[in-house]
Chains A and B, each alone.
Chain A
C-alpha cells in the first residue's frame, strides 16, 4: 500500500478527508471543511486551501468522504483504483483475504466466497454500494467472489460493527464500494486483459467522457474460466481434475454525473451483472451437474447539496436480483428473486466548528419470490431514523450515534454507539468504540418452507474495541504499529438446525456467541535509492465461542465456532522502483473446525510482478501473478479443494486517465 496520497490528483475524491495538519494530527477545522466540501462541484474554490493542509498519512487509516461514513473510533482500510490496480486480487473476496486478514470462506476457485470478520458470520458483514446495502435480503449475505474490484473507484473496509449508522448486518465489518465522479476528466479509455491458468480470461473496457459539468463512465467486463485444475487427493492416488467448475460473468456499470451547479450534484449509477457458474463436486462426490445463475440489476440515483452550514444527500435505489440454482442430476430447479426499493435522506449540519450533527431517515421495501416460501410474495418494510453528534477538538474526537428502526410495525431495540479518537501526541493515538449492533432475520429465516420461523428475533448484542496506534519516523524509515482489542457478544444468534422432534431444518434463535480478540498491525516503509521497500502485515487472534450448549449443531458451551480460525496472519513485502513493482504476500490461516472434520492450518504465498510505463497520454501496465506460489495443497472449506500454483498475466492500457 502506498503511504502517500497526492492532493493534486485527488481533490475530487480523496483528499477532502485526508486533512491533517503539519503535525500529522487530524485538525478539527480541516475535517469540518472536508465534510462541508463533499460535493464535488465545490472543490475548485477550496482546492488550494485543502492542498495547503493535506499531508501524507498512512494509507490504511483513511477517514471517509461520505456524509454518513464518519465512524469515529473504528479501523478503516481504503483502496484507490491505483492501489487496486497493483493488487493480485480480482474480486472483493480476494482483496479482503490478502489485504485485511479477513477469513474468507471460499468454496474454491470461482466459487462462492463469504467472510467472517472478527469471528462473526457471513451475514454480519454489511456490503454497501454507494452507501446502500446490497446484501441479499433472502440470504442475508453476499457472494464476495461476484463483486469485481475493477468496477469500483473506491473500496473501504471497516472492521467492527456500526449498526447505529448503517443498520442491520453491520456487526462484524462493513465494506463500502463506491463510484465517484472526476469532473476534470475528458475522454479517457482503459482496457484490461487478463489470461490465466485454468482457462481464465478477463476483458474489461472502461470509457469515460465528459467535461466539468457532465461525466459519463461506462464499464464493460467479461470473464470466464474453466477452473479445471488438478488437485491432490491422497498419497499414492493420482491427482483428480476438477469438473463442472466453469464460470462466466458479464457486467455493465454505467455512471452518469451532472454538476447542476457548484453546490449541487446529481448522480445515476446503473450496475447490471450476470454470472453463470457451475458448482463443482466435492472431493468425495463423483460428479455434479449443479449450476447457479445470478442476475443483478442495481440502480441508484443520488443528489447532493452543499449548504452554508452543512450538506444533505438524498438517494433512491432499486435492486432487482435473481438467483437461480439448478441441479440437472437431482432434477432440482430453484428460482428465487427479490426486488428492493430504497429511499434515504441524510442531512449534516455544523455548529461552531466543534460540533457536527447528522440526521438520516431510510425506507426499504423488499419483495421476494421463491417457490420455497410460505407466502406467495412475502414482503418487508423497514424504516429507520438515525442521528449522530460529533464533537471534536484538536486532540479529541467523539461521536455519539443513535438509531431506531421499525420493521413491519415491529420496533427493533434502540441502537446506540459511541466512539472516540484521542491523539495523545502526533505519533500516538488511542481510539475506541462501544456500540450495540443487530441483524434482522432474513427472508429465508422467516418464510422458508419448511423451517422458516416468522417469530424469530433479531440477533443483537454489544461490541467494544480499543486501538492504540503509534507512528515512528527515523532516517527515512517509517513505522506504523497498532494494536486493537475487541470484545463482542451476540444474543439470539440464528442457526438452522434440526430441532428435537423435527425432521426438517428450521431457523431458531438458539445461542449466544462471544467473540474477542487481538489485531496487531505493522507497516514498515523504507526508502531506498530511487525505490521504496515496504512491509505490511498483521495477525489476528480471535476467539469466537458458542455460549449455550447445543445438541444440534453439536456444540458445547465454550466451543470455537466452526470455520473460525483462532490464528490468522498476513504480510506483504513490496518493492517499487520507477515503474517496476514487485510484491510478495503470504497468508497463514490457522486450523479450524468444519462441519464434519477439522481443517488443517495452511500457508499460501502469492507474488506479483508489474511494470508500468507512460508514453504521452498512454499508460501501459504489464503484470504477472503467481498464486499459491509454493503449490500448497489446502482446503478452506472441507471437501472443497483449492488449486495449486497457478498464474495470471495481463496487460492494462489506458488513455488520458487521471486518477
Chain B
C-alpha cells in the first residue's frame, strides 16, 4: 500500500516526465546469486549517467558504498547475507539492484548532462540483513518495538542533494521502518520496493544518503546500515539501460475525470495498465496498445487513483482524480 501512496506523491510532483530515463542495473548480467562488491578496485559502478562509488579495501576484503547484486535470499539473517534485497529480487521481479552500505554518508553521483538536473525519484527497499535484524533482533541489534513492542523505533533514510558542492537544506526522509505509531498495528518495516519521490530536492549533482536508527549505542548505530535501490528516475539522462526519446512519454487526460481516462504513451509497445486505489488495492487491469487507449472508470468510486504502466521498457506511474 505504501508503495502506491509513494507513487501517487511521485505522480503529483512529476507533472512532466518527458525525456525521463529509468536507470536500472540489468545491464550487469551477473551470474545468478552473485554480487559485485568492488573487489576489482574500480572505485564504483557506472550505470548510464549514474556513478555509484565503492570503497573496497583489498587488505581487509571489506567494502563500503555501493554494490550490485542479484542474490535472492530473503530468509537468512545476518551479515553473511548482506547483498540481498528483502523483496527477493529487483523491482517487479527484475534480477539486479544496487545495495548501499555505510554507517556514514553514502553518495550517488550524476554524470554528463544528468549532473545538475532534478531527480524524480527511485525505488528503495530494505536489505534482508536489515529487515530481519529489525524484525527479529540479533546479537547486536534490537527487535524493533523492543520488549513490549511499544518502543518508538525507526530506521530512517535521509536523502539530500549536492548542487555545486553545496548540500541542500531540504531533505527527503524515507522510513525503512517506523514503529512510532501509537497504534502498534501501524508499525511497519518496508518489505517491498517503494518509490521515493526526490523531486523536491531540485537540481542535484549527487545525492547524499544517510541512515539513522533509534537503536543506537555508544559505538554507533546497531541496526545494519544497509538499503537497496533500483530504477532511478532521472531527467534528461543518456542511459545505457532504458530510455525514451519521445517528448511525450505518458499522458493521462482528462484529469480530473468522471467517466473515462485517455492514455497516451510512447513506449511503442503494448503495455500492461493497472489502476490502484489509495489503499493500494488493484481495481482495474487492462492491456493498452502501442499508442495507448481509453479506460472506462465510471464504475470507480470517487477519489484519487494511480495508473501504472508496465512494459518491456517502461515502468511509469500517474495519478488521476475521479469525481
Contacts and interface: CB of A to CB of B under 8 A. Distances in A.
A504 B225 CA distance: 11
Contacts of A327: 78
A504 B147 contact: no
A contact patch SS: loop
B77 interface: yes
Contact of A284 (B60, B64, B147, B219): B147
B101 A503 contact: yes
B81 interface: yes
Q: Among the interface residues B59, B63, B136, which one has the most CB atoms of the partner chain A within 10 A?
A: B136
Given A332-B78, A450-B62, A503-B63, A595 B147 contact: no
Contacts of B173: none
B103 A498 contact: yes
Contacts of B215: 596
Contacts of A374: 59-60
Interface in B241-272: none
Given A285-B138, A503-B101, A597-B217, 5 more contacts: A284-B146, A329-B77, A504-B57, A553-B219, A555-B218
A596 B217 contact: yes
B169 interface: no
A286 interface: yes
Contacts of B77: 329-330
Given A503-B103, A639-B142, A285 B79 contact: no
A327 B80 CA distance: 11
Interface in B126-142: 135-139, 142
Interface string B41-70: 000000000000001010111111000000
Contacts of B101: 503
A449 B60 contact: yes
Interface residues of A, number: 39
Nearest to A552: B220
Contact of A449 (B59, B102, B104): B59
Contacts of B218: 553-555, 562, 593, 595-596
Contacts of B135: 286
B315 interface: no
B148 interface: yes
Contact of A596 (B57, B104, B222): B222
27 contacts: A233-B147, A234-B148, A237-B148, A284-B142, A284-B147, A285-B137, A285-B138, A285-B142, A285-B143, A290-B139, A327-B78, A332-B80, A374-B60, A449-B59, A450-B61, A498-B219, A498-B220, A503-B62, A503-B63, A503-B101, A504-B60, A552-B219, A562-B218, A595-B218, A595-B219, A596-B216, A596-B217
Contacts of B219: 497-498, 552-554, 595
A330 B55 contact: no
Contacts of A193: none
A330 B80 contact: yes
A331 interface: yes
Interface residues of B, number: 35
A331 B216 CA distance: 25
Contact of B147 (A237, A329, A497): A237
Given A282-B139, A497-B219, A555-B218, A233 B103 contact: no
Given A449-B59, A497-B219, A498-B219, A281 B137 contact: yes
Main SS of chain B's interface residues? Answer: loop
A325 to B, nearest CB: 11
A432 B178 CA distance: 57
A503 B55 contact: yes
Residue of B103, B142, B148, B219 with most chain A CB atoms under a 10 A cut-off: B219
A547 interface: no
Interface string B115-132: 000000000000000000
B137 A282 contact: yes
B76 interface: yes
Q: Taking each of B62, B103, B136, B139, which has the highest tally of chain A beta carbons within 10 Å of its own beta carbon?
A: B139
Which of B57, B143, B217 has most chain A Cβ within 10 Å?
B217
A450 B60 contact: yes
Contacts of A555: 218
Interface string B69-92: 000000011111100000000000
Q: Give the residue among A233, A331, A497, A562 with the most B Cβ atoms within 10 A.
A: A331
Contacts of A233: 147-148
A512 to B, nearest CB: 17
Interface string B142-183: 110011100000000000000000000000000000000000
A288 interface: yes
Contacts of B61: 449-450
A498 B78 CA distance: 19
Contacts of B137: 281-282, 284-286
A451 interface: yes
Contacts of A597: 217
A603 interface: no
Contacts of B148: 233-234, 237
Interface in B172-226: 215-220, 222
A524 B220 CA distance: 48
A554 B63 CA distance: 24
Contacts of A497: 219
